[in-house]
Amino acid sequence: MPKPKHTILTFKAEDSLVGALRGMRNRSEFIRSALLAALDSTCPLCSGTGILSREQKKHWDAFTVNHAMKECGTCHEYHLVCGEQTRGEARPPHRHSRRKRP
C-alpha cells in the first residue's frame, strides 16, 4: 500500500507563538491536531467567518421562525432548540457529569 502523500504547509506566526512551539517534541503533529480540532468546531453556516451572506441570512431568518437560541442551565452555553422546546422546559440536549467534591 503506498504511503499517503504529504504537502508542506507554511504560515506566518508571531514570535510568541513560535517561542511557545519551539519546546514541543512534535510540533507538526500538534499543529495538525489543533487545525483539525478547530475545523471540527467551525460554524457550519459561516465557515468560521462570523458573517452570513445575504442568502444565508434569508435561510437563517426562515429557520429562526420555529427555532431559538437558548442558554443551557447547566453549562451556560447557547444552543439551538426547536420551537416546541422553547414553549416549556424541555429535556437538556446533553448531561453534565457532576464532580464529587472531596
Question: So what's the pLDDT on residue 29?
Answer: 92
Q: Where does the pLDDT of residue 56 fall: very low under 50, low under 70, confident under 90, or very high at 90 and above?
A: very high
Question: So what's the pLDDT on residue 99?
Answer: 54
Half-sphere exposure of residue 41: CA atoms within 13 angstroms, side-chain side: 6
pTM above 0.75, yes or no: no
Q: In this structure, what C-alpha cell is assigned to residue 63?
A: 429557520
Higher pLDDT, 35 or 90: 35
Spatial separation of the C-alpha atoms in residues 40 and 38, rounded to whole Å:
5
